[in-house]
Amino acid sequence: MKRILLIITTLLFTVFVSSQNADDILKKVESNISSDNRIFESTMIINGARSSRTITSKSYVVGDKQSFTEYLSPAREKGTKMLKLENQLWIYSPSTDRIIQIAGHMLRQSVMGSDLSYEDMMDDRKLTDIYSSKVTGNDNIEGRETWILELTAKVTDVAYQTRKMWIDTERYVPLREELFAKSGQMLKRTTMSEVENINGRWFPTKIVYKDLMKQGGGTEFKITQVQFNQKIPDHIFTKASLKQ
Amino acid sequence: MKIAIKLAYRNLIGAGLRTWLNVIVLSFSFVVIIWMRGIINGWNRQAKDDMTAWEIGGGQYWHEKYDPFDPFTLSESHAPVPEELIPIINRGEMEPYLISQGTLYPRGRMQTIIVKGINPKQDIFLLPSQKLDTLITDAIPAVTGSIMARNLNITRGDRMMLQWRDAGGTFDATDIVITEIFSANVPNVDQGQIYISLENLQKMMNLPGEATIITYRDGHSPGLTELDGWNHKTKQELTSSVDELIKVKSVGTSVMYVILLLLAMLGIFDTQVLSIFRRQKEIGTYIALGYTRRQVVGLFTVEGTMNAVLAAIVGAFYGIPFLALQAKTGWTMPMDTSDFGMAIAQTLYPAYSAGLVIMTVIVIMFTTMIVSYWPSRRIARMNPTEALRGKIQ
């Protein structure tokens, strides 16, 4: 009997520690990745079923509630701007000179034909607030030791019921993420690489998104230049700036 | 009057080919106008019948937030089926269906669609919902329309991934298998949508016992005009778009009637002018015999109008078999109607009513009478002596 009690206590303790660890890991990842604000330039290579396209853009991000992106190339997309404030998203298209709000079913459409949908950009809550997590194992990704974290939704209004994340044990940077539907079907896979130390923080500069439902080779997102904690004027995050 | 009719008849027959040309052209107008109006009537009837059979039944209850023209409302337009309707639903006189949005991935392509959950055992609609009862262990059976199947390039038996967000917003995905592709003349039940069983969709959406629309069988209205949280839509309201469309189309086809009538009336008008010009001696004689000018005008008007009477008789000879044949075999439109975006069959069956035929005859007779009278007015201004001498006035 004593033996059984000891085993149960040990198991409960292990689960508790593992849960604590997973939450701590996530918090460290969030603090490492997030910043008060950042300005970055990026290149998005969309590998479609038939051809590939490259789109460059410049983004201004404050916290995780406000972001403003201006597309710089190709010529067809140049001048297109996207503004996200809390849970609202607007797009300005220079060809029509119109601002449209992306809402409802339009959020399911892909961004510029990529593997990212608008609604992927909308969920800005902290992972620790909406998921309970546990460490389920270890793995080695391209020579880096990682913890495998399994995140299960603890709230009902969450996009993905479960997530699996591979976190670099030393740098606290996610190196891979898999997003699952309620049925267990894997929907998307994200791979982060080219982790660089920028201003004292480890940051993945290359992210490959793959919508597993779609054909094509995924979308490669490469950050070409990033600056943290810069002074970004407030007027950027207004609808008026979309038409400027 | 009797003599006038007799004289008019003799004069007309005496004119020979000129009369028969007029009569044939006018009879053609009769037949074509009746046929065209029959087609419009037939379309109206067919569109409403098809909508009843495929989409609206005898009327519907819509969730108060449901707006078919605003997909943004879909995520909120659902509620538990009202208790007072449950016994009627159990009797099979009403059918609830739930509407949601989803994303379909046929062969890796992404397509936003409407997913409708319907009772597989229903018999209010012609939808092959019984095919949703097909036993497939690792996928959900689904049916879709032929337009949707053509657009997605899918066939029966195809398997594809369906992704959706449940009521809480969580993504979910599963395979569906197309167990049947139906062909309907009502694009509203076909374009951009798939059907799965109501129970499956309620489970998938985490909305047990909920519905967006509840439809009752034609002629079996539950008589509840007020239902808390639901808006009652009568069949008349739901088919008002067809009425409006038919009204617009009727105005459009009226242009054709006018052109046809103009052609026929031009012939009659010319004949009347020629008659008055060439038959001045005859007009003078009538007056000398004691006819008043009005009576002579009347005689010529009757003569002209009789063209329409003869045209009606001639038209009946070839028109009745033609119209009857059309009513039986229908008129197949030369272009594909599936992309028209409205309830229209590829083959339209004209529907004629007594009112339609009588109205057409009256309108043509009246128009012919006016056109015959118009040039005859000149007779009233004629000097009888001069007319008797045949002198051109």
The verdict on B28 and B67 lying in the same domain is no
**Cα(B380)–Cα(A8) distance, rounded to whole angstroms?**
122
**Does A139 or B14 have the greater pLDDT score?**
A139
Per-residue pLDDT of chain B (393 residues; tens, 9 = 90+): 677 778 777 877 877 787 788 888 888 888 988 898 898 888 888 888 889 999 999 999 999 999 988 877 888 899 999 998 899 999 989 999 999 988 898 887 888 899 999 999 999 999 999 999 888 888 999 999 998 999 899 999 999 999 888 888 888 899 999 999 998 888 888 888 999 999 999 999 999 999 999 999 988 887 777 788 999 999 889 988 888 888 888 787 788 888 888 888 888 888 888 877 777 778 778 878 888 878 888 888 888 888 888 888 998 999 999 999 988 888 887 766 666 666 677 788 888 888 888 888 888 888 888 888 888 777 767 777 777 776 655
In a domain? residue B231: no
> Could you give the C-alpha distances from A48 to A84, A132, A213, in angstroms and in order?
26, 35, 13
pLDDT confidence tier of residue A14, bands split at 50, 70 and 90: very low
Chain A residue whose CA is closest to B167: A157
The verdict on B67 and B138 lying in the same domain is yes
The verdict on B93 and B24 lying in the same domain is no
| Nearest beta carbon to residue A159 from set B108, B110, B169 | B169
| Nearest beta carbon to residue B168 from set A105, A109, A156 | A156
Segment 4-63 of chain A within 8 Å of chain B by CB: 49
The verdict on B132 and B68 lying in the same domain is yes
- Collapse the DSSP code of A127 into the 3-class scheme (helix H, G, I; strand E, B; otherwise coil) and give the result: helix
The verdict on B177 and B35 lying in the same domain is no
Q: Which residue has the tokens 């969450």?
A: A158
Segment 104-143 of chain A within 8 Å of chain B by CB: 104-105, 108-110
Dump pLDDT digits (tens) for A103-131. 766 776 778 888 888 877 776 678 888 89
> Could you give the C-alpha distances from A121 to A117, A133, A165, in angstroms and in order?
7, 22, 18
The verdict on B263 and B155 lying in the same domain is no
In a domain? residue B366: yes
The verdict on B289 and B182 lying in the same domain is no
Instruction: Please compute Rg for chain A using Cα positions.
Output: 20
**Cα(A62)–Cα(A35) distance, rounded to whole angstroms?**
8
Dump pLDDT digits (tens) for A168-222. 999 999 999 999 998 888 989 999 999 988 888 888 899 999 988 887 888 999 9
The verdict on B318 and B339 lying in the same domain is yes
**CB distance B202 to B212 below 8 Å:** no
User: In B191-292, where does DSSP find H-type helix?
Assistant: 198-205, 235-238, 240-278, 280-288
Question: Where is A97: in which H helix or E strand?
Answer: none
Backbone angles phi, psi at B209, to 5 degrees: 75, 10
CB atoms within 10 A of CB B316: 15
- Domain hosting residue B117, numbered range: 59-217
Backbone angles phi, psi at B275, to 5 degrees: -60, -45
The verdict on B39 and B88 lying in the same domain is no
Q: Across all residues in chain A, what is the average pLDDT? A: 84
List the one residue out of B376, B389, B371, B374 whose CA is nearest residue B26: B371
- Collapse the DSSP code of B391 into the 3-class scheme (helix H, G, I; strand E, B; otherwise coil) and give the result: coil
Chain A interface disruption, residue of B113, B166, B172, most A CBs within 10 A: B172
**CB distance A138 to A149 below 8 Å:** no
List the one residue out of A73, A134, A113, A66 whose CA is nearest residue A217: A113
Question: For the packed helices B280-288 and B240-278, what is the interaxial angle rounded to 10 degrees?
Answer: 80
The verdict on B337 and B259 lying in the same domain is yes
Distance from CA of A108 to the nearest CA of B (A): 8
pLDDT at A3 over 70: no
Q: Report yes or no: A216 at the B interface, CB cutoff 8 Å.
A: yes
Domain count, chain B: 2
List the one residue out of B173, B170, B161 whose CA is nearest residue A183: B173
**CB distance A48 to A214 below 8 Å:** no
**Cα(B227)–Cα(A42) distance, rounded to whole angstroms?**
55
State both tokens at B290.
């004691």
Q: Report yes or no: A215 at the B interface, CB cutoff 8 Å.
A: yes
**Cα(B169)–Cα(B205) distance, rounded to whole angstroms?**
9
Asked if A108's CB is within 8 angstroms of B172's CB, the reply is no
> Could you give the C-alpha distances from B376 to B8, B14, B285, B354, in angstroms and in order?
13, 19, 16, 33
Q: Report yes or no: A162 at the B interface, CB cutoff 8 Å.
A: no
| Nearest beta carbon to residue A105 from set B71, B105, B173 | B71
State both tokens at B72.
């943004």
**Cα(B230)–Cα(B226) distance, rounded to whole angstroms?**
8
Q: Which residue has the tokens 């949005």?
A: B101
Answer left, alpha or beta for residue B330, where phi above 0 means left and psi between -120 and 50 means alpha.
Answer: left
> Could you give the C-alpha distances from A76 to A79, A82, A112, A181, B86, in angstroms and in order?
9, 15, 11, 35, 55
In a domain? residue B223: no
Domain ranges of chain A: 2-34+124-227, 37-41+50-115+230-243
Residue-level pLDDT at A9: 45
Residue-level pLDDT at A169: 92
| Nearest beta carbon to residue B110 from set A183, A187, A213 | A213
**CB distance B29 to B260 below 8 Å:** yes
The verdict on B175 and B208 lying in the same domain is yes
Asked if A157's CB is within 8 angstroms of B170's CB, the reply is yes
Chain B interface disruption, residue of A89, A105, A219, most B CBs within 10 A: A105
The verdict on B129 and B278 lying in the same domain is no
Amino acid at site B90? N
In a domain? residue B360: yes
Chain A interface disruption, residue of B103, B114, B170, most A CBs within 10 A: B170
Q: Report yes or no: A184 at the B interface, CB cutoff 8 Å.
A: no
**Cα(A140)–Cα(B371) distance, rounded to whole angstroms?**
97
Chain B residues inside the 8 Å CB shell of A219: none
Distance from CA of A242 to the nearest CA of B (A): 24
In a domain? residue B233: no
Distance from CA of B170 to the nearest CA of A (A): 4
Asked if B163's CB is within 8 angstroms of A187's CB, the reply is yes
**Cα(B337)–Cα(B343) distance, rounded to whole angstroms?**
9
**CB distance A26 to A127 below 8 Å:** yes
Top-level CATH class of A2-34+124-227? Answer: mainly beta
